[in-house]
Chains A and B, each alone.
Chain A
Amino acid sequence: MPDKKRKTPKLDELEKGEWPSFVKEIKSAADKNAMANDLLGQLERSYEEKIGHWKHGGIVGVLGYGGGVIGRYSDLPEEFPSVSHFHTMRINQPAGWFYTSDVLRKLCDIWEKHGSGLTNMHGSTGDLVFLGTRTEELEPTFKELTDLGFDLGGSGSDVRTPSCCCGMARCEWACYDTMALTYFLTMHYQDELHRPAFPYKWKFKMSGCPNDCVAAIARSDMSIIGTWRDDIQVDEAAVTECAKAGMDIQKDVVGNCPAKCMDWDGKKLKIDNKSCVKCMHCINAMPKALAPGKDRGACILIGAKAPIVEGALLSSVLIPFIKLEPPYTELIELVDKIHEVWSENGKNRERIGEFIQRVGMGNFLEAIGVEPIPEMVAHPRENPYVFYEEYFEEDESQENPKR
């Protein structure tokens, strides 16, 4: 039990309003945990002074692993002794974030015993995040986690814990088994996940369809997003039902199609599937009437990142369509080749998207042995891969180079 409760007038403001408040949860934990109590005190100080009081990084971890623990120390240890160490542990979450309530209780018990009891469910990496413990509690926590069948996730310059949407477990639009691929990649890249060997972090995120519920296109170095290459499935009777029920198909479906590839004459919905960009809008609007095609797989995109060292990037198409079924040989060969080229030539703290920007898409494609195709053009009027080599060769042979 904490000796005395911290006074937190500024944090109290964050409890007001209709939304959930992290302050309320920390206060609840602070009733029985000294760490949570001192955390409130230090946070209040940060809000008063408009300055953070954490020191980040360092040497802490569990034996043999280079990831999974993020060292954090208070720079006011005398004032807030219970958070002098406040390390974060990232726990590899189950694919699709499926838990049993029994396992959740056991995880919370472990963390109340060894740490602050505070968690993030889940962090932006996808991991289950345990917030705040001391160095000497890391190994005992890790031991209890592994006894329960859990492992640490990634951190630092390694493969971060792969994450995915719930996929075929709950969603009929999933174009491939996201959970199976996530589990496979997690197991296949165990060494790269626990032993940082890259210039910087590498994130895989798997979405089952172009709705991209895990926001892979904005957050992962390799975004694997489900898609299809045949025609959208249309249940004409259900389309008629939608119209009869009062849906304005012309305005709300056809009018919002970004590819303008649909036509509605009041009776029949026609789709020019060759022009469809698989945006999912029409399928989302009429889920009973329309569905993704039957020839399903995924599109692989590369290079997204949040702004850290440089600005944010969205990923762009690398492989427009790939069938994703075990043993995933084609995918693994591609990923390994990319890792090899990036590890060999990447600068410290350079994400793959930044690396591609620096060396040029053309050079990158040549290095990984992938042919350029029109789908790789990320923006209108941008052509990142044409070299005009034949043009130069022709000119050189005529000894009259014109550029």
Chain B
Amino acid sequence: MGDQVSVQEVSDAMYKMIKDSMGQKKWKATDLTKAVTEMFGERCDKNTAKSAIRELIESGKCVYTYFGGSFIEIPHKEGAEN
């Protein structure tokens, strides 16, 4: 078993996933957690994934949105406002 992956590294990986699939897929917190757990294996536990999501939100790189459920997205112009 290797060293534990850092929160920043997980956060960056999550951001890339969200950015690469923008407009095609909406990510829930659980989807992101599952994806990074798969990517990093035992090096990433659930608490690290949780901290990484918090880092994404508090840095302003991502925001929570609600479309019949809560998702994590890159900030964009509010569609409903138009």
Instruction: Look across to chain B and name the residue whose beta carbon is closest to the beta carbon of A65.
Output: B64
Measured between beta carbons, the chain A residues less than 8 angstroms from B81 are: 58, 73, 85, 135
Instruction: Look across to chain B and name the residue whose beta carbon is closest to the beta carbon of A54.
Output: B80
Measured between beta carbons, the chain B residues less than 8 angstroms from A349 are: 68-69
Measured between beta carbons, the chain B residues less than 8 angstroms from A346 are: 30
Interface residues of A in 132-176 (CB under 8 A from B): 135, 155-158
Quick check: is A71 within 8 A (CB to CB) of the other chain?
yes
Query: A66, B64: Cβ atoms under 8 Å?
Result: yes
A52 CB to closest chain B CB, in angstroms?
Answer: 14
Measured between beta carbons, the chain A residues less than 8 angstroms from B79 are: 58
Complex-state Cα separation, A348 to B81, whole angstroms? 25
Query: B64, A195: Cβ atoms under 8 Å?
Result: yes
Given A57-B80, A58-B78, A156 and B53 contact (CB-CB distance below 8 Å) = no
As a 0/1 sequence over residues 45 to 57 of chain B, the CB contacts with chain A under 8 angstroms (1 = contact) are: 0000010011001
Query: B30, A61: Cβ atoms under 8 Å?
Result: no
**Which of A105-113, A197-205, A215-223 has 4 or more CB atoms under 8 Å from chain B?**
A197-205
As a 0/1 sequence over residues 3 to 34 of chain B, the CB contacts with chain A under 8 angstroms (1 = contact) are: 00000000000000000000000001110010
Complex-state Cα separation, A71 to B65, whole angstroms? 9
As a 0/1 sequence over residues 61 to 81 of chain B, the CB contacts with chain A under 8 angstroms (1 = contact) are: 001111111100101101111
Query: B67, A57: Cβ atoms under 8 Å?
Result: yes
Select which of B30, B60, B73 is within 8 A of A63 by beta carbon. B60
Quick check: is A55 within 8 A (CB to CB) of the other chain?
yes
Measured as residues with beta carbon below 8 angstroms from the partner, the interface class of chain A is: 20 to 34
Given A155-B66, A157-B70, A195 and B80 contact (CB-CB distance below 8 Å) = no
Query: A348, B65: Cβ atoms under 8 Å?
Result: no
Given A66-B57, A195-B29, A195-B64, A157 and B78 contact (CB-CB distance below 8 Å) = no
A244 CB to closest chain B CB, in angstroms?
Answer: 60
Please report the number of residue pairs spanning A and B whose Cβ atoms sit closer than 8 angstroms.
Answer: 82
Select which of B53, B68, B76 is within 8 A of A195 by beta carbon. B53
Quick check: is A187 within 8 A (CB to CB) of the other chain?
no
Select which of B57, B60, B69 is within 8 A of A200 by beta carbon. B69
A56 CB to closest chain B CB, in angstroms?
Answer: 8
Instruction: Look across to chain A and name the residue whose beta carbon is closest to the beta carbon of B29.
Output: A197
Instruction: Look across to chain A and name the residue whose beta carbon is closest to the beta carbon of B72.
Output: A66
Query: B30, A198: Cβ atoms under 8 Å?
Result: yes
Instruction: Look across to chain A and name the residue whose beta carbon is closest to the beta carbon of B57.
Output: A64
Given A58-B79, A195-B54, A195-B57, A71 and B28 contact (CB-CB distance below 8 Å) = no
Instruction: Look across to chain B and name the residue whose beta carbon is closest to the beta carbon of A155.
Output: B66
Measured between beta carbons, the chain A residues less than 8 angstroms from B63 are: 59, 61
Quick check: is A185 within 8 A (CB to CB) of the other chain?
no
Select which of A58, A158, A191, A196 is within 8 A of B80 by beta carbon. A58
Complex-state Cα separation, A198 to B78, whole angstroms? 24
* Shortest Cβ-Cβ A-B pairs, 10 listed: A66-B64, A196-B70, A156-B70, A157-B70, A197-B29, A55-B80, A57-B66, A73-B80, A58-B80, A59-B65
Can you spell out 21 A-B residue pairs with CB atoms less than 8 angstroms apart? A55-B80, A57-B66, A57-B67, A58-B67, A58-B78, A58-B80, A58-B81, A59-B63, A59-B75, A61-B64, A63-B58, A64-B57, A71-B80, A73-B81, A85-B81, A156-B70, A157-B29, A158-B70, A196-B64, A343-B30, A348-B69
